[in-house]
A and B are shown apart, each in its own frame.
Chain A
Amino acid sequence: MTNTPTTPDTRKTPFYCCHVEEGAKMVPFAGYMMPIQYEDGIMREHEWVRTRAGLFDVSHMGQCLLKGKDAAANISRLTPSSFRKTIDGRCRYTVLTNKDGGIIDDLIVTRIDEETFYLVINAACRDKDIAWIKDNLEGDVTFEEYPEGSALIALQGPYAVEVLKELLFHKTDIENLTYMHAMPARLMGEDIMITRSGYTGEDGFELSLPMAHDKVQQIWRTLVQHADVKPIGLGARDSLRLEMGFPLYGHDLDDKTSPVEADIAWVINKKNTGFFGEDRIRKELENGAQKKRIGIKLTEKGVAREGSTLLSPDGKVIGTLTSGGFSPSTKQAIGQGYVDTDYAVPGKTVLVEVRNRRLRAATHELNFINPRTLKPGA
């Protein structure tokens, strides 16, 4: 039993006091004190999100805007996705790539209007993302980061839509909001922005709350008092995304790994040209990559963690596990990792090295349960 050391220079989100009130176990994460879990624990929190609605504080993530006539051209060069013909309100998951085709970060980009794009980036990548974006802007475009302490929350789960409807001024709008789309809304007398998105595989919303801390705390408390809502910590956030096969930056994605290797080639727009890392990415699209991200499930008892070596049945090293844990929904040890392309198909028998033992495992689709999100709209 060892305790994680805490660093003194950690910041607090606007909901810090709410987490403490609700009995959260707070841990330093990406420079912030964040709730890893509340009193219910990761397992029950995970199940709650899959069956009801969970409230997440994601204010540690960076929110920023690209504005100007050339904003669309810039975001279409910073990412392999094209935003030139995107409609207003559309959100897209994509990646910032470097000149070598590696991934600087994964992010959600939302077109607010023709000249305004809203970006949500990972907390741990915020400084390098901002430096990279600012250094590489061209033409008529400005970059602006939301002020430190801006609130961002996610409400996720099959009850999310019903819960949010009860609180909103215009109730029907939210039902009609398509998956991966944004809309402005009024909540408790305040103008906010809602996107139908998230990182749990459940239907749900992210709410960007640009108001004073007492006001956003009031919104948080109103939501958690709802009988169908519980606050959910980072622990369950991780197990929820792992079951869906979603990558976590710094673990499953890094600045050497390309979107083709990461098996998110669907972020690459065929007609988009001139984006960073295009040479390598195009080559890999055409000829395939050496390694590829895939799901792994253990077929014997045990749990394999990040960093475990993956081997073929005859003991040849074929890759590494980049995330691993226990899936509360399917009650088995799962993970994801990179393997030689020959093994990057579901159903292959492999071995995972755990503390000098080799456990039997099998490759699997990246997701272990089917997404419950709505179909993405146009």
Chain B
Amino acid sequence: MADAPVHLKYTTDHEWVELNGDIATIGITAYAQESLGDLVFVELPEVGITITSGDDFAVVESVKAASEVYTPVSGEVTETNEELGDSPEMINENPYTDGWIAKVKLSDKSELDEMMTAEEYQEYINQLEA
């Protein structure tokens, strides 16, 4: 499994966030995509909607099951990864880069402070697998 990149922040629900100015890019982690298996469909949020930390804002579907993706941050969805419409497998292949799900204009940057660092997240996964 790919190591969790150090410049991202992580949640216990296996989402990641990358911060650029006041825009947060959200995706799911390598651990998440591996647990789900081959993805066949991603339901993206609508651009322009306002989401609140903890909302399920996207759904990833594997052959077997549908799983909600929860946003760890609040704000307005400014962009979604339209390419996932035709190529949901991009999340399996590159969960931390091409497989991003949505970008959110943050209303409260401090929400990121509650998230885990790569090192903490790695430790968290190790505990789950132990």
Contact = CB atoms under 8 A, between A and B. Distances in A.
Interface stretch (B19-27, B34-42, B109-117): B34-42
Contact of B63 (A1, A2, A235, A355): A235
Given A235-B64, A303-B66, A43 B38 contact: yes
B37 A43 contact: yes
Contact of B66 (A36, A46, A235, A305): A305
Interface string B1-25: 0000000000001110000000000
Contact of B32 (A1, A305, A328): A1
A305 B28 CA distance: 22
A238 B13 CA distance: 27
B22 to A, nearest CB: 26
A355 B44 CA distance: 13
Nearest to A43: B38
Interface string B58-97: 0101111111111000000000000001000000000000
B85 A301 contact: yes
Given A42-B62, A301-B85, A325-B63, A1 B37 contact: no
B64 A1 contact: no
B37 A235 contact: yes
Given A37-B37, A41-B38, A301-B85, A239 B32 contact: no
B29 to A, nearest CB: 9
A272 B46 CA distance: 58
B129 to A, nearest CB: 12
Nearest to B29: A1
Interface string A328-357: 100001000000000000000000000100
Contacts of A355: 43, 59
Interface in A204-220: none
Contacts of B35: 1
A15 interface: no
A162 B127 CA distance: 45
Contacts of B28: 1
A301 B40 CA distance: 10
Contacts of B63: 42-43, 46, 235, 239, 325-326, 328
A313 interface: no
Contact of B41 (A2, A238, A302): A302
Contacts of A44: 38
A303 B37 contact: no
Question: Which one of B28, B37, B68, B69 has the greatest number of beta carbons of chain A within 10 Å?
Answer: B37
Contacts of B61: 302-303, 326
A201 to B, nearest CB: 16
Interface in A101-146: none
B51 to A, nearest CB: 15
Given A238-B64, A325-B64, A303 B41 contact: yes
Given A1-B68, A37-B37, A326-B63, 6 more contacts: A1-B14, A46-B63, A302-B43, A333-B40, A333-B41, A355-B43
